[in-house]
């Protein structure tokens, strides 16, 4: 890679799983000094906006209501408490590992309203769409979703068009690409001249993808390459996209740090609004400022590395997180903190 980079280049790894894999395998120590790798908005918990977190918190403690959520959402601070704190006060908040489990909670006890916090990208949206179809077939009246799903390609366009970010390459997400295929990324090299490579999560796969984008930059021939052909087909997973298409339509969505992005969210189609917690329960998502001093937004745009935040490792730690990037196991701040403690990073700063 060093032979291919005759000038400084800035590469963003989009996926939170890539972020953790890179740290866990000690790859940063292998990068040439003129390759700057920054983290992006690929952690679903991290990009959930403060207003969306507050809306989720407003569900906790409602009469006869169970909130079903992935574990990472439990400790993300809202404007006031966290779901974990609400649970300690008696709210019925259950941790699930799949949308199916949330649906099962509703089917097992039809006297309670079960609301599933549906977060994530194209990776998890098909499973949510599938359970909405199941709930429709079962004519379940006590199951709803707080739909916070988002689409990755529009967020990449926001970053690519931002002159402050100044990216030259994307390490594209493996899991998302399994669903989307390669076509949704074509605009990145064609319109913005950005080199792209999809990678798996093993060390050699990540390094091969980084060599690929370095070669594209060196040859001034940006394109979308896949170094993860064992899992990602060029056309993606048509079945999963078909299920999503039946249930969701693209809509505007708010991303932490990136603001409102056109057609970057998945809203429920009109025929499924009876499963929409916002619609049924009269919830509103009111935008709220991030916690004072928190720089998760700048981290998610690749403008700073986590240690540049004044809160990092001081008042904000995995034990007492202030921002979501320190909560999620896929969060960049949590990865920096965790692996710095192990001395597994060649810290240049």
pLDDT of residue 30: 87
- Crossing angle of helices 125-137 and 99-108, in 10° steps, is 20
Instruction: Report pLDDT digits (tens) over 48-101.
Output: 999 999 999 999 989 999 999 999 899 898 887 899 999 999 999 999 999 999
Q: Is the pTM of this model over 0.85?
A: yes
pLDDT of residue 341: 57
pLDDT of residue 149: 97
Positions of the chain with pLDDT under 50: 343-349
pLDDT of residue 5: 82
Contact 116, 143 (CB under 8 A): yes
- b/e 245-267 (16+ beta carbons within 10 angstroms → b): eebbeeeebbbbbbeebeebbbb
Which residues, including other chains, have CB under 8 Å from residue 101's CB and lie 6 or more apart?
Answer: 68
């Amino acid at each position: 890679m060093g032979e291919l980079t005759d000038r400084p280049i800035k590469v963003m790894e989009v996926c939170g799983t890539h972020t953790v894999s890179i740290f866990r395998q000690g790859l940063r120590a292998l990068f040439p000094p003129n390759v700057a790798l920054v983290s992006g908005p690929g952690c679903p918990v991290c990009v959930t906006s403060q207003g969306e977190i507050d809306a989720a918190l407003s569900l906790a403690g409602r009469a006869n209501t169970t909130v079903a959520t992935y574990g990472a959402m439990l400790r993300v601070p809202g404007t006031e408490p966290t779901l974990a704190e609400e649970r300690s006060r008696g709210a019925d908040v259950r941790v699930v590992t799949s949308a199916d489990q949330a649906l099962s909670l509703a089917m097992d006890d039809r006297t309670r309203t079960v609301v599933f916090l549906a977060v994530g990208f194209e990776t998890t949206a098909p499973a949510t769409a599938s359970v909405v179809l199941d709930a429709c077939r079962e004519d379940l009246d006590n199951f709803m979703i707080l739909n916070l799903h988002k689409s990755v390609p529009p967020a990449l366009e926001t970053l690519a068009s931002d002159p402050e970010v100044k990216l030259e390459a994307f390490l594209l997400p493996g899991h998302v690409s399994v669903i989307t295929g390669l076509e949704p990324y074509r605009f990145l090299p064609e319109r913005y001249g950005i080199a792209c490579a999809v990678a798996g999560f093993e060390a050699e796969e990540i390094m091969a993808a980084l060599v690929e984008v370095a070669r594209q930059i060196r040859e001034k021939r940006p394109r979308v390459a896949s170094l993860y052909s064992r899992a990602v087909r060029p056309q993606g997973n048509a079945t999963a996209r078909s299920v999503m298409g039946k249930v969701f339509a693209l809509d505007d969505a708010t991303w932490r740090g990136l603001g409102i992005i056109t057609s970057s969210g998945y809203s429920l189609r009109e025929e499924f609004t009876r499963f929409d917690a916002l619609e049924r329960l009269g919830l509103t998502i009111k935008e709220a400022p991030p916690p004072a001093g928190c720089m998760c937004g700048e981290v998610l745009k690749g403008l700073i590395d986590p240690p540049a935040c004044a809160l990092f490792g001081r008042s904000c730690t995995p034990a007492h997180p202030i921002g979501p990037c320190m909560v999620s196991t896929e969060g960049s701040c949590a990865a920096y903190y965790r692996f710095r403690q192990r001395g597994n990073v060649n810290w240049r700063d």
